[in-house]
Structure 1
Amino acid sequence: MNEPTDEGTPADGSAWRGTTITTGWLLLLFVGAYLISPASILPLVMSDLGITEATAAALVSMPQVAATVIGIPVGIYLDRVETRATVPAAATLLLIGSTGDWFAASEGSVSLLIGSRLLAGAGMFVLWVTCINVAASTFRPSRRATATSVIISGYPAGYALGQLGAPRVAAVVGWPKVFPAFGVAVLVMSVAFYVAVGRVTRFQRSTDPMTPLVFRGVIRNRNVWAVLVVTVLGYSLYMVFNSWMPTYIARRFGVSLAESGTFVALFPAVGILARPIGGWLSDAVLGQRRRPVFATSFVGATVLAVAMFYSTTIMVLVAILVLAGVVVQLQIGLMYQSVQEFVAPQAAGTAVSLASVAGWLGSFVAPVVAGELVTTTGVDAVLFVFAVGLGVAGGLTVWRMAESGESPALA
Structure 2
Amino acid sequence: MTDLTDGRPFAAGSESRWTTIAAGWLLLLFVGAYLITPASLLPLVMSDLGITEATAAALVSMPQVAATVIGIPVGIYLDRVETRVTVPCAAAVLLVGSAGDWVAASGGTVSLLIASRLFAGVGMFVLWVVCINVAASTFPPTRRATATSVIISGYPAGYALGHLGAPRVAAVVGWPGVFPAFGVAVLVTSVAFYVAVGRVSRFHTSTEPMTLLGFKQVVRNRNVWAVLAVTVLGYSLYMMFNSWMPTYITRRFGVPLAESGAFVALFPAVGVFARPIGGWLSDAVLGQRRRPVFAGSFVGATVLAVAMFYSTTIAVLVTILVLAGVFVQLQIGLMYQSIQEFVEPRAAGTAVSLASVAGWLGSFVAPVVAGELVASTGIDAALFVFAVGLGLTGGLTVWQMAESGESTALV
One-letter code of the match for 1:336?
Answer: Y
Any idea what SS the aligned residue of 1:13 has?
Answer: helix
Say if 2:63 and 2:124, in contact at 8 Å, map to a contact too: yes
TM-score (norm 2): 0.97
The corresponding residue for 1:195 is 195
The corresponding residue for 1:5 is 4
- Higher deviation after alignment, 314-323 or 342-351: 342-351
Any idea what SS the aligned residue of 1:126 has?
Answer: helix
Number of aligned residues = 406
One-letter code of the match for 2:171?
Answer: A
Q: Partners of 2:14 and 2:3 in 1: how far apart?
A: 18
Any idea what SS the aligned residue of 1:198 has?
Answer: helix
Q: Residue 306 in 1 paired to residue 319 in 2?
A: no
Any idea what SS the aligned residue of 2:380 has?
Answer: coil
The corresponding residue for 2:317 is 317
One-letter code of the match for 1:186?
Answer: V
Say if 2:2 and 2:204, in contact at 8 Å, map to a contact too: no
The corresponding residue for 2:134 is 134
Q: Partners of 1:80 and 1:296 in 2: how far apart?
A: 36
Q: Partners of 2:22 and 2:60 in 1: how far apart?
A: 26
The corresponding residue for 1:62 is 62
How far off is 1:9 after superposition?
5.0
The corresponding residue for 2:283 is 283
Q: Partners of 2:23 and 2:2 in 1: how far apart?
A: 27
Say if 1:150 and 1:276, in contact at 8 Å, map to a contact too: yes
One-letter code of the match for 1:47?
Answer: S
The corresponding residue for 2:390 is 390
User: What RMSD in Å do the two structures reach over aligned CA positions?
Assistant: 1.0
Q: Which runs of 5+ in 1 are unaligned?
A: none
Post-superposition CA distance 1:67-92 (Å, at most 9, x none): 00001111111122111111111000
How far off is 1:3 after superposition?
4.4
Say if 1:287 and 1:406, in contact at 8 Å, map to a contact too: no
One-letter code of the match for 1:206?
Answer: S
Say if 2:27 and 2:190, in contact at 8 Å, map to a contact too: yes
- Higher deviation after alignment, 79-88 or 7-16: 7-16
Say if 1:10 and 1:139, in contact at 8 Å, map to a contact too: no
Any idea what SS the aligned residue of 1:321 has?
Answer: helix
Q: Partners of 1:4 and 1:339 in 2: how far apart?
A: 18
One-letter code of the match for 2:209?
Answer: P
Q: Partners of 1:9 and 1:215 in 2: how far apart?
A: 34
The corresponding residue for 1:162 is 162
TM-score (norm 1): 0.97
Distance 1:392 1:9, change over 3 A: farther
The corresponding residue for 1:90 is 90
Post-superposition CA distance 1:43-67 (Å, at most 9, x none): 0000000000000000000000000
Q: Residue 152 in 1 paired to residue 152 in 2?
A: yes
Q: Partners of 2:63 and 2:132 in 1: how far apart?
A: 18
The share of aligned pairs that are identical, in percent, is 84
Any idea what SS the aligned residue of 1:403 has?
Answer: coil
One-letter code of the match for 2:320?
Answer: I
How far off is 1:10 after superposition?
4.2
Q: Residue 401 in 1 paired to residue 401 in 2?
A: yes
Any idea what SS the aligned residue of 1:405 has?
Answer: coil
How far off is 1:12 after superposition?
2.7
Q: Partners of 2:137 and 2:406 in 1: how far apart?
A: 19
Q: Which runs of 5+ in 2 are unaligned?
A: none
- Higher deviation after alignment, 70-79 or 295-304: 70-79
Q: Partners of 1:96 and 1:3 in 2: how far apart?
A: 37
Q: Residue 254 in 1 paired to residue 254 in 2?
A: yes
| TM alignment of 1:322-333, pairs within 5 A | 322-333=322-333
Q: Partners of 1:292 and 1:241 in 2: how far apart?
A: 23
The corresponding residue for 1:204 is 204
Q: Partners of 1:4 and 1:354 in 2: how far apart?
A: 23
The corresponding residue for 1:24 is 24
The corresponding residue for 1:104 is 104
Q: Partners of 2:5 and 2:195 in 1: how far apart?
A: 22
Q: Partners of 1:368 and 1:148 in 2: how far apart?
A: 29
One-letter code of the match for 2:278?
Answer: G
How far off is 1:141 after superposition?
0.6
Q: Partners of 1:61 and 1:233 in 2: how far apart?
A: 15
| TM alignment of 1:70-89, pairs within 5 A | 70-89=70-89
Q: Partners of 2:70 and 2:76 in 1: how far apart?
A: 10
Find runs of 4+ consecutive structure 1 residues off by over 4 angstroms.
Answer: 6-10
One-letter code of the match for 1:297?
Answer: S
How far off is 1:341 after superposition?
0.8
Any idea what SS the aligned residue of 2:262 has?
Answer: helix
